[in-house]
Amino acid sequence: MLAKRIIPCLDIRDGQTVKGVNFVNIINVGDPVELGKLYAEQGADELVFLDITATHEGRKTFVELVRRIAKNLDIPFTVGGGISEIRDAEALLAAGADKISINSSAVRNPQLINDLARNFGSQFVVVAIDAREMNDHWTVTVNGGRIPTEKELFSWAKEAENRGAGEILFTSMNHDGTKNGFANKELAKLSENLTIPLIASGGAGTMEHFADVFTEGKADAGLAASIFHFREIAIPDLKHYLRGRGICVR
């Protein structure tokens, strides 16, 4: 049976992890490769590395980092942040990334999804969508949730699928950071409307939230950052718990 995936997300600035300060037992807590390997050993199913560097120098550092991750990590990983052209994706593929995630750049230029899928295959293209609910309407936002757009969550997700996305990563800006659970109602609706896999993000606070997102939310994968980085939930414990709840995990 296909296992539900647990995906820690690491934010990277200038080649170093932004969170992860609580990992006292590893030598270099700031090194994304060391942190990634630790998660892989603990049973993470995939990893996402999100580059939040703004500078050109930092960008080059990130491509070098992706190569080092690819050499050292024996599970799949997605990289995102600052990908707005085919050649950005090409550099990351050449460095060894399994998938890339695009967000604001896909909203601004939806044709980018078609171009990336045609050049590198749908399996390489994750479309990340940050959306916020206001008056029962889910508005797609860009620039880390700061800027609302004309697009609506459910139609945009379907359009991304039709354009060739291989996976949708949905973050509810209403739930992100609250630790009150995922946006299960919206996730279930998305999952039923899509034929490609759905990664849920935003709101994870307890192990029960993951059980809920896989049952009520019908998500194929659950992503979280701080609860893993700050060791509030250990991945082996989470997998054990989910197994006990009858959810198929690796």
Partner 1 sequence: MKIVIIKYNAGNIRSVDFALQRLGVNALITDDHDEIRSADRVIFPGVGEASTTMSYLKNHRLDTLICDLKQPVLGVCLGLQLMCAHSEEGDTACLGIFPEQVKKFVISPDHPAMFKIPHMGWNSISGLKSPLFRDISEEDYFYFVHSYYATTGSDTAAICNYLVPFSAALQRDNFYATQFHPEKSGKTGATILTNFLNLKV
Please identify every residue annotated as catalytic. Answer: 11, 130
Return the closest-CA partner of residue 86 out of 116, 110, 109, 124. Answer: 116
Q: Which of 11, 45, 130, 176 binds partner 1 (CB under 8 A)?
A: 45
Q: Where are the alpha helices (DSSP H) in the chain?
A: 32-42, 56-72, 86-95, 104-108, 111-120, 153-163, 184-193, 207-215, 226-229, 235-244
- Give the range of 24-32, 122-130, 151-159, 171-179 binding partner 1 by CB under 8 A: 122-130
- Give the range of 12-20, 116-124, 143-151, 201-209 binding partner 1 by CB under 8 A: 116-124
Does position 2 interact with partner 1 (CB under 8 A)? The reply is: yes
Does position 51 interact with partner 1 (CB under 8 A)? The reply is: no
| Distance (Å, whole) CA 221 – CA 200 | 6
| Distance (Å, whole) CA 206 – CA 232 | 8
Does position 218 interact with partner 1 (CB under 8 A)? The reply is: yes
Q: What is the DSSP letter of 2?
A: P
| Distance (Å, whole) CA 149 – CA 137 | 12
Q: Which of 5, 132, 163, 239 binds partner 1 (CB under 8 A)?
A: 5
Q: Which of 17, 104, 141, 191 binds partner 1 (CB under 8 A)?
A: 191
Site residues for partner 1 per CB under 8 A: 1-3, 5, 40, 45, 70-72, 74-76, 93-94, 96, 98, 120-124, 166-167, 188, 191-192, 194-198, 218, 220-221, 250
